[in-house]
Structure 1
């Protein structure tokens, strides 16, 4: 992280000092538009394209698949982007904010689901990155060599922290846009149009499965968002911040998932690496390889983002039971542990992972939908963005160790989703079965969890919290709260 100088300029880059602690106003800086390329590159990775394969594989035409992707990605990003405003307002990483809704120890419930998301994404990213290396250098993609090496590079980026992650993501955007713009044009102009049964058709179940996967994939990014907006000035424009976050995350998802549906409709045995290479090489032999190299770099970068988030969430969880000093040491230790876990799990997973990846995305949707509903309702409709920050770190404070409001709303929201679950090969709920395995669980979870939390919160002691906010702001910044 860069260190602010007395004049407000920025000195040379250093390892980030902060972890789960509050970022004071004197260290706030950055530009709102930087959120757009950060989230564009964060979502412009090959696992995103895999989501677009499913519609055509279920018999849906490329056009209807694309429509489902647009609607699903734009719907999911709506919830994800509104978390961005929490960063500058609170100056905290995303998940530790949840202590205000669940309690300092009760928050371990969504924390476990969140760490599962981070680790899972890293595992799939390293598998695909290794496959890319094996395509570029045939026979060189030896798992026990490249899995640790790729993971180690991502961990180093995460150790340096917030500023380096923003820098890498921002500059990779230009390479990705150029490379994939050419690949997209080539896919439209050089691949034969599908005919007969391969052209697909309208299928309501396939449409909603594709919609759910696209929505769930982008909702999963909600757990990251204010990790990368918390250094922005506290008075940053909320509409602009939300807009830039939405633009980057939704734009890349629609593009790359849409490209996936196009490739799956025109290539009989589509895969994320071989298809990109084959299409790219239609420009000239070797261009597909160049695009794969860029894609591998993007995968390493997003692995760093995932590792960073997993570390913050894990340290927050441990801190709830055993106080941890917010220094560089626990950050580095946490990142090393995350890296080791990723390598071990990746080595145990079979290479043919697409079916398990789709179920993983749906599982993320199930666990994160009630959390995002509770968190957003609390921020925008209950507390209106005003929190006693020091109390979030005080287990005996106003937010307590266990908060029944958030826990009950989350639990009930999750339980009522179960009959709507549709996990092919694992579990199909009775209502989903009646609907032909179409999955509407996300809508149920959002309404029930968010609605219950809003009702439960009517009994909050507003005066006590207002007094706590005043004390907290004077302690942190020497000024009164708004």
Structure 2
């Protein structure tokens, strides 16, 4: 797909926020989704996520297989959200108003903002370590603040610069992570550290959950980065470009993490970034590896800040009726969000691995029901037909609140509690399963099963897509 329309200068601050992107401003190709999501997953936090499966008991070989299954399953769901972007031209969470109501969508939105903050903060901890290694400073707060400033700058500039950083991260990640893998096999007899433990169902499911959770939590903002693609872009192509970039990038990183955890043990647990730098070898090469870590984390952290800003804006505009805001207000939202994430990163850097494991698994509980409702409605009930102007009108087609969708969402969350395997709580059914966490499967299947029959009876989708008047798009009401 070739570029269409007249895109703005790449480094000019983006003008669009939660409003629909008109045809004249559509541009790019599905390959941009591959490089963005590949680069966003070739990063140190994904290495840590893969290491967690081994840290908490799985053999590296079984962990890698479990992570792969989780990445594929979660990646398929995530990419289905991405495929909505070109057709609607909207940020992901705005489309949730079609299911939950213009104001009802605030419930999942608040949880989405917490997710962005959590990932931004935990990622900033690791990125801050890389910054400190580069500038030779010991104070953790210094690196965290510098990285926060970089994040704010790229996120304020917006969509196009984020894609540029993603392409750079893709190249850096391939070179840097390939080098690290070679060093790992050169410095350690990796074969003597894997295949030592027999198959364990519980830790295998943990690995699947870690991979699936990683992918599923991209769902609430993946369409934010496909919405500028030309409206004629094939949904199938958008799906596979996003799926391949995210799954290949994350599996590559997580596999490296599982192997590093298997051979390094405690040496990796207490100093993830430092260990990777030491593995790189000579100081000059270690410096380059720290840059790889920095660029990879910058990509995904900008996604968090950018998505966090739009989720907050979507929440606010549900009550004030606005569809666009000034560039000054946009900057203030992003800077404010980034500042909060930096403060959290400074305060909550201890016990990172254990906290991150529980954070990822907890996010599964609140986002799998949202994903099930959004995808069931869009593909099976509305059949990809949305009244876009009504998404901004509490008195319109979708109303202010959709009690049925909100009820299904709450049931989907609550139903997972008996299946949870968290640090502070283990559900009774989880005990019966030997500690295996299958809550995310329950969340997806049960929520879709109860939502579909309710929505089929009450839904009133338009006969075809309805776009805003005067947006250079086809308006099916004319």
Q: Please give the range of the TM-score, normalised by the shorter of the 2 chains.
A: over 0.9
Q: Aligned in 2, Cα 1:363/1:175: closer, same or farther, shift over 3 Å?
A: same
Report the CA distance between 1:11 and its aligned residue. Answer: 4.6
Q: Aligned in 2, Cα 1:61/1:331: closer, same or farther, shift over 3 Å?
A: same
- 2:412–2:443 Cα contact (<8 Å) kept: yes
Matches of 2:305 and 2:376, distance apart in 1: 28
Deviations 1:163-197 (A, max 9, x none): 11011111221111011111112212321236589
Task: Determine the structure 2 residue equivalent to 1:127.
Answer: 125
- 1:409–1:448 Cα contact (<8 Å) kept: no
2:171 aligns with one of 151, 157, 174: 174
Task: Determine the structure 1 residue equivalent to 2:36.
Answer: 38
Task: Determine the structure 2 residue equivalent to 1:479.
Answer: 474
Structure 1, unpaired ranges of 5+: none
Matches of 2:434 and 2:365, distance apart in 1: 19
1:110 aligns with one of 92, 108, 116: 108
Task: Determine the structure 2 residue equivalent to 1:160.
Answer: 157
Matches of 1:455 and 1:395, distance apart in 2: 24
Task: Determine the structure 2 residue equivalent to 1:263.
Answer: 260
Matches of 1:218 and 1:28, distance apart in 2: 26
Report the CA distance between 1:275 and its aligned residue. Answer: 2.6
Q: Aligned in 2, Cα 1:285/1:142: closer, same or farther, shift over 3 Å?
A: closer
Q: Aligned in 2, Cα 1:197/1:178: closer, same or farther, shift over 3 Å?
A: closer
| 1:84 aligned onto 2:82 | yes
Task: Determine the structure 1 residue equivalent to 2:421.
Answer: 422
Task: Determine the structure 1 residue equivalent to 2:224.
Answer: 227
Task: Determine the structure 1 residue equivalent to 2:369.
Answer: 370
Q: Which moved more, 1:271-280 or 1:13-22?
A: 271-280
Cα root mean square deviation, aligned: 2.1
Task: Determine the structure 2 residue equivalent to 1:208.
Answer: 205
Q: Aligned in 2, Cα 1:9/1:95: closer, same or farther, shift over 3 Å?
A: closer
Report the CA distance between 1:198 and its aligned residue. Answer: 9.5
Relative to the length of structure 2, the TM-score reads 0.93
Task: Determine the structure 1 residue equivalent to 2:381.
Answer: 382
Alignment map for 1:314-393 (pairs within 5 Å)? 314-327=312-325, 328-393=327-392
Task: Determine the structure 2 residue equivalent to 1:402.
Answer: 401
| 1:301 aligned onto 2:296 | no
Matches of 2:105 and 2:185, distance apart in 1: 47
Matches of 1:237 and 1:123, distance apart in 2: 35
Matches of 2:38 and 2:19, distance apart in 1: 27
Matches of 2:473 and 2:262, distance apart in 1: 60
Deviations 1:419-446 (A, max 9, x none): 001112x111110111111001111110
2:234 aligns with one of 234, 237, 244: 237
Deviations 1:74-126 (A, max 9, x none): 11111001111111111100111100000111111110111111111110111
Matches of 1:83 and 1:452, distance apart in 2: 20
2:58 aligns with one of 53, 60, 79: 60
Q: Aligned in 2, Cα 1:12/1:368: closer, same or farther, shift over 3 Å?
A: closer
Q: Which moved more, 1:152-161 or 1:341-350?
A: 341-350
Deviations 1:388-409 (A, max 9, x none): 1000011110101101222111
- 2:93–2:220 Cα contact (<8 Å) kept: yes
Deviations 1:358-407 (A, max 9, x none): 10001111111000110111111011111010000111101011012221
- 2:151–2:305 Cα contact (<8 Å) kept: yes
Task: State the SS of the aligned residue for 1:443.
Answer: helix
- 1:194–1:266 Cα contact (<8 Å) kept: no
Matches of 2:214 and 2:253, distance apart in 1: 12
Task: Determine the structure 2 residue equivalent to 1:277.
Answer: 277
2:288 aligns with one of 290, 293, 300: 290
Task: Determine the structure 1 residue equivalent to 2:453.
Answer: 455
Q: Aligned in 2, Cα 1:34/1:12: closer, same or farther, shift over 3 Å?
A: closer
Q: Aligned in 2, Cα 1:10/1:331: closer, same or farther, shift over 3 Å?
A: closer
Q: How many residues align?
A: 471
Report the CA distance between 1:416 and its aligned residue. Answer: 1.0
Matches of 1:244 and 1:448, distance apart in 2: 29
Q: Aligned in 2, Cα 1:181/1:326: closer, same or farther, shift over 3 Å?
A: same
Matches of 1:480 and 1:347, distance apart in 2: 49
Report the CA distance between 1:61 and its aligned residue. Answer: 1.6
Matches of 2:314 and 2:168, distance apart in 1: 30
Matches of 2:280 and 2:145, distance apart in 1: 29
